[in-house]
Amino acid sequence: MFNVPAPDAFAVFGVSRTLDLDEQELEMHYLKLSRECHPDHNRAQTTDDCAAVLQRSAEINDAWNILRDPWRRARALLEAESAGVLERNKKLDPMFLMAALELAEEVAFAESDRQAALTDKLQAAIDSDFTALQKDVNNGDFDAAAKRVHQSHYHLKALHDLEAKS
Amino acid sequence: MAYSDKVLDHYQNPRNVGSLDKDADNVGTGVVGAPECGDVMKLQIKVSDEGQIIDAKFKTYGCGSAIASSSLATEWLKGTSIDAAAEIKNTQIVKELSLPPVKIHCSVLAEDAIKAAINDWRRKNGKLAKEEANS
């Protein structure tokens, strides 16, 4: 198996490396790039050309799936800015982890009448994670940003678990 | 992926689930997480004046292997000495539970939790070496 590092999603799309991408513009851009690679619009002359177009097409699809999701976009941005930054910042504050454990318990034992309020609470936590993440990225503090991404994973997972209950 | 019978047993009948008073001087608490999977593990020990672990409790939010690893850890911790507890290695947990390679990080988490709990108890009781105090 070849261990080729995944190409930088921002570079594949040719957009600037920022968290604040306009999602509508991004989708238009995706459609345009896809069209360019479509076999109907792109008569490859040789087998080599054909393989290259296919490769490009796969890269565009992968990049699209990363960029359209704010959290995956954040991971890609951090790795592109500072390789290994997510791995280096996996140790989270015990106080945060304790709160995450309590949150997970709250979700596990939530009665149905409590689910709407809890969903709002988790969504608010995720939104505030993202705001804090944007601030860290804008300040160029990628270590702090990586910790935010890890923390948000606990909130996203709790929300996912809550949704799976109903 | 098939879990071993021992993992299933601990998962279905976890030992020593619960909490000890984290503010008590004779209790050490360790909370560790694996952010990639969103797992979190809390492990607590209660230590006698003689340095024996007289009780151990855990709470784990995570996969079956993480739950089994921490459940097994509390079984091993109860009745052992602090010094012996500090020697517990994740590889022993892997062997006992027959964890597959993709689940080894769960046993690492359990070892980290044991060490964090011991350090917390040592910190409270002034038994921590200086270089460890900052970690």
Residue B1 has a pLDDT of 59
Of B36, B42, B116, the CB nearest to A101: B42
pLDDT band at A45 (very low <50, low <70, confident <90, very high): low
- Number of Cβ within 10 Å of residue A155's Cβ equals 21
Site of tokens 């306009």: A22
With a cut of 50, list the residues of chain B below it in pLDDT. none
Q: How far, in Å, CA of A95 to CA of A70, rounded? A: 26
Buried b (16+ CB within 10 A) or exposed e, B31-55: bbbbbeebbbbbbbbbbeeeeebeb
Best mutation target, A87, A109, A157, to test chain B (most B CBs within 10 A): A157
Instruction: Flag if A100 and B116 touch (Cβ within 8 Å).
Output: no
| A3 pLDDT above the threshold of 50 | no
Q: In this predicted structure, what is the pLDDT of residue A43? A: 66
Which domains does chain A possess? 9-68 (1.10.287.110), 85-165 (1.20.1280)
Contacts of B33 in chain A (CB under 8 A): 92, 97, 100, 154
Q: Does A101 contact B59 at a Cβ distance shorter than 8 Å?
A: yes
The domains located in chain B, with CATH, are 5-121 (3.90.1010.10)
Catalytic residue among B37, B54, B86, B133: B37
What is the predicted pLDDT for the residue at A1?
39
- Angle, CA A109 vertex, CA A104 and CA A112 arms, to 5°: 115
Compute the distance between CA of residue B58 and CA of residue B16 in angstroms, rounded to an integer. Answer: 6
Place of tokens 């019978």: B5
Q: Is the pLDDT confidence value at A162 over 80?
A: yes
The one catalytic residue in B32, B63, B97, B106 is B106
**B118/A106 Cα distance (integer angstroms):** 28
Nearest to B61 among A94, A104, A153 (CB): A104
The confidence score (pLDDT) of residue B120 equals 96
Binned at pLDDT 50, 70 and 90, residue A155 comes out as very high
User: Residue A13 in contact with residue A63, Cβ under 8 Å?
Assistant: yes
Count other Cβ atoms within 10 Å, centred on residue A6: 12
| Closest to B28 (Cα-Cα) out of B50, B49, B44, B48 | B44
Check CB contact under 8 Å for A100 and B32: no
Q: What is the DSSP letter of B81?
A: B
Q: How far is B112 from chain A (nearest CA, A)?
A: 11
**How many C-beta neighbours within 10 Å does residue A91 have?**
14
pLDDT of residue A54: 85
ipTM for the predicted complex comes to 0.84
Alpha-carbon distance of A18 to B118, in angstroms, equals: 43
A146 contact B CB<8A = no
Element (H, E) at B58: strand B53-61
Q: Looking at the predicted structure, is the pLDDT value of residue A4 above 80?
A: no
Position B134 scores a pLDDT of: 52
Specify whether B63 is catalytic.
Answer: no
Through-space distance between the first and last CA atoms of chain B, rounded to whole angstroms: 36
Q: How far is residue A129's CA from residue A70's CA, in Å, rounded to a whole number?
A: 12
| pLDDT cut 90: percent of chain A above it | 75
Q: How far apart are CA B74 and CA A19, in angstroms?
A: 43
Task: Over range A121-148, report the average pLDDT.
Answer: 96
Q: Bigger pLDDT: A166 or A31?
A: A31
Rounded Cα gap, residues A109 and A122, in angstroms = 15
